[in-house]
Amino acid sequence: MDLVNRFLRYVQIETTSDEASATTPSTPTQMAFARQLQQELTDMGLADIRLDKNAYIYAALPATPGCESAPSIGFIAHLDTSPDAPGRNVRPRIVSHYDGGDITLSDGIVLSANVFPELHNAIGQDLIVTDGTTLLGADDKAGIAEILAAVEYLQEHPEIRHGRIGIAFTPDEEIGHGAAQFDIEGFGCDWAYTIDGGETGELEFENFNAARADLTFHGTECHPGTAKGKMVNAMLLAIKYASQLPESERPETTEGREGFYHLHGMAGDVASANLHYIIRDHDRERFEARKQHMRDLADAMNREHPGCCEIALADQYRNMSEKVAVADAENRRRGLPGIVEVAEKAMREAGVEPKIVPCRGGTDGAQLSFMGLPCPNIFAGGMNMHGRFEYVPIQSMEKAMMTIVNICKIVGK
């Protein structure tokens, strides 16, 4: 089965995750897809195939003869698609030899190069697009298709020597739970790569440190006609708190390695109000300073209105770069190339110039790195993900597939 046909088949399977669910996987469609992949892995003749009750699926391609002592490396992608856009009845279409103009997805819905100028980088390529009513699902079914197509390529080219190759597909990455129940010991790899990045050449091994902050403001309610000197409006307390965080440090005003405070939820009345923030920064010291700043603001408001503000802070994930650096140092001590160096070389051998960028978000790889499996993120090719204007160039998917093959070859040597 070729790469494109595999991908086109996968995206038509609904696997939207549900952040309101208390189960893993959060939706039964993910388990159904996992069972289908389990059968495909069996048909491919892979070893150590396991599908657990939470829809984590594992398999391995054994080492070629004489390479049993090479490091075991893994490749990971996720089953689910984002709940930010509909994922049912996906109808993909191929636009051959894209000419740089607007692409009509359906009546009144246009994928425009003026709105999405990165389309200019895809002129002359073959694009897989949506019909304008759903997302596409390249995040991350492109990753799944690329991993399995790379495995097939290795099977068809036994002259390529490689060590043991681990494969894993996880549920619920889009709602932050993809690594929660990952069996690192059973996976049995020295390091791994998530195939879950965007444009061609992306290589991410640095992500945000992340925390959430939940604030509750307590007011004093009374009849507005007799409120003078009595009423304390909890909503206005919340507004005052939010206004003290710098406008220049919000998601809409930051980029690159710049951190931010993001207000992503609010509710309330006179008696009680709530603010929900996420806090992000690549630098650990600045990250800790951001959390302390939010505590200090709460303390200041409590000095003015005793007991008016409660704040609860919880770390979510950390920057994987420190764990990747440790793994790289250990590899070099053993006379092996660093795991980032391997990925860069593999990309160049596939005709791709690596684009090392800080990830302005989190990946399963960040959590897995701190669980003991160093795990940078490699491009899968999808663009405009999580929405109806999502697309993926076929040539990007082919280069991602060959990057995987080349990683296996490099480590096998």
Domain boundaries, the chain: 3-206+319-412, 209-317
Report in angstroms the alpha-carbon separations of 82 from 131, 192, 210, 214: 17, 23, 20, 24
Other C-beta atoms lying within 10 Å of the C-beta of residue 356: 14
Other C-beta atoms lying within 10 Å of the C-beta of residue 373: 25
Query: What is the C-alpha to C-alpha distance for residues 143 and 173, in angstroms, rounded to an integer?
Result: 13
Q: What is the pLDDT of residues 110-166, one digit of tens each?
A: 999 999 999 999 999 999 999 999 999 999 999 999 999 999 999 999 999 999 999
Query: What is the DSSP-derived secondary structure letter of residue 121?
Result: G
| pLDDT score recorded for residue 167 | 98
Mean pLDDT, range 33-57, rounded to an integer: 98
State the burial class of residue 200 (Cβ atoms within 10 Å of its Cβ: 0-12, 13-18, 19+): buried
| pLDDT score recorded for residue 1 | 59
80 is catalytic: yes
Mean pLDDT, range 221-232, rounded to an integer: 91
Mean pLDDT of the chain: 94
Which residue is catalytic, options 80, 139, 196, 328? 80
Query: What is the C-alpha to C-alpha distance for residues 240 and 238, in angstroms, rounded to an integer?
Result: 5
Whole-structure pTM value:
0.86
Task: Determine what percent of the chain is predicted with pLDDT higher than 90.
Answer: 85
Spatial contact of 14 and 87, defined as CB atoms under 8 Å apart: yes
Strand, helix or coil for residue 394: helix
Asked if residue 177 has pLDDT above 90, the reply is no
Residues 6+ apart with CB under 8 A from 29: 13, 14, 15, 16
| pLDDT score recorded for residue 207 | 87
Asked if residue 64 has pLDDT above 80, the reply is yes
Mean pLDDT, range 43-47, rounded to an integer: 97
Q: Of 116-120, 222-226, 289-293, which has the strongest mean pLDDT? A: 289-293
Amino acid found at 74: G
DSSP per-residue letters across 145-208? HHHHHHHHHHHH-TTS----EEEEEES-GGGT-TTTT--HHHH--SEEEEEEE-STTEEE--B-
Does domain 209-317 bear CATH number 3.30.70.360? yes
107 is catalytic: no
Mean pLDDT, range 162-178, rounded to an integer: 93
Q: What is the pLDDT of residues 335-366, one digit of tens each?
A: 888 999 999 999 999 999 999 988 887 678 88
Mean pLDDT, range 47-62, rounded to an integer: 98
- The architecture (CATH level 2) of 3-206+319-412 comes to 3-Layer(aba) Sandwich (3.40)
Which residue is catalytic, options 139, 146, 173, 190? 173
Burial profile 77-113: b = 16 or more Cβ within 10 angstroms, e = fewer = bbbbbbbebebeebebeebeebeeeebebeeeebbeb
